[in-house]
Structure 1
Amino acid sequence: MTSITCNSKSIGIRLKQYFNEAKPFLMYCSFSFLFSFDPSEPFLVDYFTNVLGIDPEIVYQDIFPYWTYSYFAFLFIFGILGEFIGYKTIIIIGMVSKILTIAVLLTTNKLVYLILEQVTDGLSYAAYIVFLAYIYFSLDPNEYQKMSCRVNAGYLVGVVSSGLLGQLLVQKLPLVSLLSISCGTNILALILALTFTNHKSQQKFSIKETFTDLINTYKNTDILRWYIWSGIAISIHQIVLTYWQSLFLQINNDQNWNGYISASAYFFASFFAIIPSKLGNSINNIQNLVLVVFGLLGGALLMVMGFGLNLVISTFSLIIYNCCFEFMSPIVNVQIAKKLSSRIGLLFSFNIMIALTIQVLVQLTVGKQFLNLDIKSQFLYYGGCLFVLSFGFSVLFGFLFLKKKFFTKSNSVNDQTINYISINQDDDQEQQQQRENIDDDNLQDEIYLYKDSRSIERDERKPLILNQNEIHNKV
């Protein structure tokens, strides 16, 4: 009985320990999954145009841009607020906002409210960036890379499963039903967020210290390369996710396949998102190569989509492009987080703000204000941006490699010269020591000879002294 009791206690302890270790994984991945589970997302343009009766031109020019503006503004606001009120509170605000977004879509078709809906949706996604920083604070930094990849995989699985579900239901149910399902999953995500532990930055917020942290961060060349890459790549990726439905509509004029396309893109990307967690620190050895290769590949795929040869080729290009980005995303986040010592949430948010600034500039450039490009030409432009980025990194890394090689070679020559000089100095010192030893030996010999001569002299004088004593005694 005693052994059975001990075994049951040990099993209970092991199960409790296992649950404590698995609890963060289950909570964070489940939240990420529920946040991204939106069966209506692939058919959002269809909902605006066919259900709400909004002109497609108004959707792209007057409604969708407010998502970017809202996302940009609230990233900065939440990055600062997280330092004061904690990241959990920001996450809860974001989920409430996401529920309000769907509520607006379900109740009105007025333009001002649809713009407000984009504002609240951008707010919720800004809060999700704070959630990624929250993960860093709640775990050991060494576990962040694995958890970041797993959470990203959970997000992608949510997109895939919701896309497939939406594709299956869209033929049988109205789009309003898909929005209702999305609202239900968001409510579950809100309930889960309420169970999170609140984490705040250990440092008190100071504008001067924050500005100093930002300056020091951008002085670090290791972080700077990742910031530049993520700033441009994220901005291009956000634009692609916003406008790929419009591009495919021009290619095929049919949105019945959007659910399958979205699900496929994120299904395969979910496998690529896990790969960095398996590579570990070995990714540091090829990080420069990864930045260049994936930038070139992504640019080429966007250009293929821009040519718009047919729906199949464009679909495969979108899938491969999304796999490349989701592979790079956790790598970039981890490399940046490793170099940061404080204010993770604020600096993460500031990085995304830079990306959004670039996104706004790119959208203004291709829009009717400047180049006025059609949707296909825009994708060619986006691919060209990634090509220019990769070419710039290639030149930079090539220069750094040659500089390092030349510096190493010059150091080797200097080391050889120093060794030659030191060897000669050692030889001179050895010869000097030998001369000093010889002089010491000669001096010792002279001393010994002198002592011997004095000894002989004393021996010769001794008999004389004895004879004088004898004479004295006799007298």
Structure 2
Amino acid sequence: MEPLEERARRRGIMLLSGGGWLIPTCLLCTYGFFANLRPSEPFLTPYLLGPDKNLTERQVFNEIYPVWTYSYLALLFPVFLATDFLRYKPIIILQGLSLIVTWFMLLYAQGTLAIQFLEFFYGISTASEVAYYSYIYSVVDSKVYQKVTSYCRTATLAGFTVGSFTGQILVSVGNWSLFHLNVISLTCVSVAFATSWFLPMPMRSLFFHQNANRRASKLMQVKGSSNRSCIKNEDLARVSESEDLEAQVPLNHKAHSTDDRVAEQTNINLLNVLRILWNDFLECYSSHTLLCWSVWWAFSTCGYCQVINYAQGLWEKVAPSSHSDIYNGVVEAVSTLLGAVAVFVVGYIKMSWSTWGELLLALFSLIIAVNVYLMESIGSIWVCYVCYILFRGIYMLLITIATFQIAANLNMECYALVFGVNTFIALVLQTLMTLIVVDSSGLGLDLFTQFKIYAGYFAVISLIFFVSGFYRLVKKCQRKQDTQQSSGT
């Protein structure tokens, strides 16, 4: 009979986690919940413009907020590589630490330069999210991927919703100051940081720390000696999963420690990693369907982030917090819940996305454009709130569909790569838009003009996908008619 220790090693991280998938999942969900439980976040703009920081609108919108966009873009790719090389957990700890620094500075830092540094640290935490969402796949069996993904995303959603509702109640009912809301936020992210230290350390990662069989397959692909495709193949996936368990056991574990032998067999250099990434990139984006959904993802996410970043500023212009009650917290919470409902509904929608997908993207992008335009043109805070809720709900619905359409035909390696590339392109576009439209070194436009541009941006997206979708629909109908005529003759 196989020894107990040997069986544990053959199951990889099971020995490290001490409880299969349950313990690391619970720890990661706890981290995600408290890291997003930040009651002060919906009130960030009023706080910066208020007596605590006493910054001007131009300083906040045109000099401070753009720093987050630039930092996120500059850090995304290095953090992505570091996440894989360091095997996730150190980057999750870094994210928790950067959140602590962010909220500590939010409490005590003064002046434009100090708050710009704050935005840089927040950019670190945002770029590090890749570690949170990919960690769990390295410590659990592939059979529970869907379950643990659902749990982790639900935890972050619940944390944000509870935080937003709590902030609103404390401001509206308890009459708490925004400074004390930030104290609660700092406490919550500190709990998340403490939790991150208890996460089990993964033994493998996607590129740098692979098992020997997968590494050989990857390098053969780079050299053109392998037929492995990024397009999902269920038989290959099952074989790969079986090989993962076998290859995690060193052949001579008595001569070396497990960790040393795994590192010796599985480490892969940076040059080969970059070659693998480039090879997978070319292979993935050769698919028209994947390219279409990815283009919408990148372009719409750029516009979405711009609207989200500056929505609080627009609300402050329409209804200043110094003269009226603000309901930013409840609006953020309701919009998140609506997005969650939309995400849930997606699982029950049955239709031919290959036929109607582009036209639906065009339709909903147009609705988004109308909502963004109404937010700045009507001049009513309640119209702003309603349009914002609809805007976020529609985007979450569409991005979930896009995620499913992209992931449905990809294996796990290419899944991570495509999502990373799409996010990077979105950030590049957002950086250009921020530099030209928002930054004081560019046009430095006021918020109302900015939102007109964002509305026009989504209208252009709608037009592009309507033309593309209509053209493909006509071509498909023509092919169908030609097939019917040829079969009739």
Deviation (angstroms), 1:152: 3.7
* 1-structure distance, mates of 2:467, 2:376: 27
Q: Deviations over 1:172-228 (max 9, x none)?
A: 333232222112221222333332452511354522222222222222222211211
- SS where residue 219 of structure 1 aligns? coil
Q: Deviations over 1:353-374 (max 9, x none)?
A: 1101111222234336666543
Q: Does residue 170 of structure 2 align to residue 169 of structure 1?
A: yes
Deviation (angstroms), 1:151: 3.9
- SS where residue 39 of structure 1 aligns? coil
Asked if 1 retains the 8 angstrom alpha-carbon contact of 2:40 and 2:178, the reply is yes
The AA in structure 2 aligned to 1:111 is T
* 2-structure distance, mates of 1:180, 1:216: 48
Deviation (angstroms), 1:320: 1.0
The AA in structure 2 aligned to 1:184 is T
Q: Does residue 378 of structure 2 align to residue 308 of structure 1?
A: yes
Tell me which residue corresponds to 2:431: 360
Tell me which residue corresponds to 1:132: 133
The AA in structure 2 aligned to 1:181 is I
Normalised by the length of structure 1, the TM-score is 0.75
Q: Does residue 407 of structure 2 align to residue 406 of structure 1?
A: no
The AA in structure 1 aligned to 2:205 is K
Deviation (angstroms), 1:398: 1.6
Q: Does residue 331 of structure 2 align to residue 264 of structure 1?
A: no
Q: 1:278 to 1:150 in 2, by over 3 A?
A: farther
Asked if 2 retains the 8 angstrom alpha-carbon contact of 1:156 and 1:269, the reply is no
Asked if 2 retains the 8 angstrom alpha-carbon contact of 1:79 and 1:347, the reply is no
The AA in structure 2 aligned to 1:355 is A
Q: 339-348 or 400-409: which moved more?
A: 339-348
Q: 33-42 or 369-378: which moved more?
A: 369-378
Q: 244-253 or 163-172: which moved more?
A: 163-172
Tell me which residue corresponds to 1:433: none
* 1-structure distance, mates of 2:143, 2:462: 30
Aligned residue runs from structure 1 range 58-69, under 5 A: 58-69=59-70
Deviation (angstroms), 1:300: 1.3
Query: How many residues align structurally?
Result: 399
Tell me which residue corresponds to 2:33: 33
Q: 1:24 to 1:295 in 2, by over 3 A?
A: farther
Tell me which residue corresponds to 1:105: 106
Normalised by the length of structure 2, the TM-score is 0.73
Q: 1:115 to 1:273 in 2, by over 3 A?
A: same
Asked if 2 retains the 8 angstrom alpha-carbon contact of 1:133 and 1:348, the reply is no
Tell me which residue corresponds to 1:297: 367
The AA in structure 2 aligned to 1:104 is M
Deviation (angstroms), 1:134: 3.3
Aligned residue runs from structure 1 range 183-194, under 5 A: 183-194=186-197
Asked if 2 retains the 8 angstrom alpha-carbon contact of 1:246 and 1:375, the reply is yes
Q: 1:337 to 1:193 in 2, by over 3 A?
A: farther
- SS where residue 408 of structure 2 aligns? helix
* 2-structure distance, mates of 1:284, 1:188: 45
In the alignment, which of 290, 300, 304 is matched to residue 223 of structure 1? 290
Tell me which residue corresponds to 2:318: 251
Q: 226-235 or 283-292: which moved more?
A: 283-292
Tell me which residue corresponds to 2:234: none
In the alignment, which of 414, 419, 422 is matched to residue 348 of structure 1? 419
Higher helix share: 1
* 2-structure distance, mates of 1:24, 1:280: 34
* 2-structure distance, mates of 1:286, 1:29: 36
Q: Does residue 447 of structure 2 align to residue 375 of structure 1?
A: yes
* 1-structure distance, mates of 2:479, 2:355: 20
Q: Deviations over 1:278-323 (max 9, x none)?
A: 5589877754354233212211111111213311111111111111
* 2-structure distance, mates of 1:332, 1:193: 31
Q: 1:256 to 1:244 in 2, by over 3 A?
A: same
Q: Does residue 216 of structure 2 align to residue 211 of structure 1?
A: no
Aligned residue runs from structure 1 range 68-83, under 5 A: 68-83=69-84
Asked if 2 retains the 8 angstrom alpha-carbon contact of 1:63 and 1:118, the reply is yes
Deviation (angstroms), 1:123: 0.9
Asked if 1 retains the 8 angstrom alpha-carbon contact of 2:59 and 2:112, the reply is no
Asked if 1 retains the 8 angstrom alpha-carbon contact of 2:24 and 2:200, the reply is no
The AA in structure 1 aligned to 2:68 is W
* 1-structure distance, mates of 2:293, 2:424: 14
Gaps of 5+ in 2: 1-18, 216-267
* 1-structure distance, mates of 2:116, 2:193: 23
- SS where residue 285 of structure 2 aligns? helix
- SS where residue 52 of structure 1 aligns? coil
Q: 1:339 to 1:188 in 2, by over 3 A?
A: farther
Asked if 2 retains the 8 angstrom alpha-carbon contact of 1:87 and 1:131, the reply is yes
- SS where residue 422 of structure 2 aligns? helix
Tell me which residue corresponds to 1:157: 158
Tell me which residue corresponds to 2:183: 180
Gaps of 5+ in 1: 1-18, 418-475
Asked if 2 retains the 8 angstrom alpha-carbon contact of 1:95 and 1:186, the reply is yes
* 1-structure distance, mates of 2:58, 2:309: 14
* 2-structure distance, mates of 1:130, 1:338: 22
* 2-structure distance, mates of 1:299, 1:22: 43
* 2-structure distance, mates of 1:275, 1:121: 32
Q: Deviations over 1:323-346 (max 9, x none)?
A: 112222333233333343325445
Q: 81-90 or 244-253: which moved more?
A: 81-90
Q: 1:224 to 1:135 in 2, by over 3 A?
A: farther
Of all paired residues, the percent bearing the same amino acid is 26
Q: Does residue 465 of structure 2 align to residue 393 of structure 1?
A: yes
The AA in structure 1 aligned to 2:421 is F
* 1-structure distance, mates of 2:114, 2:301: 28
Q: 1:287 to 1:87 in 2, by over 3 A?
A: farther
* 2-structure distance, mates of 1:224, 1:86: 29
* 2-structure distance, mates of 1:184, 1:147: 26
Asked if 1 retains the 8 angstrom alpha-carbon contact of 2:31 and 2:196, the reply is yes
Q: 135-144 or 87-96: which moved more?
A: 135-144
Q: Deviations over 1:380-438 (max 9, x none)?
A: 22122112112211211221122222223334444455xxxxxxxxxxxxxxxxxxxxx
Deviation (angstroms), 1:377: 2.4
Asked if 2 retains the 8 angstrom alpha-carbon contact of 1:153 and 1:273, the reply is no
Q: 1:336 to 1:28 in 2, by over 3 A?
A: farther
Largest Rg, 1 or 2 = 1
* 1-structure distance, mates of 2:34, 2:326: 24
The AA in structure 1 aligned to 2:59 is I
- SS where residue 102 of structure 1 aligns? helix
* 2-structure distance, mates of 1:359, 1:305: 20
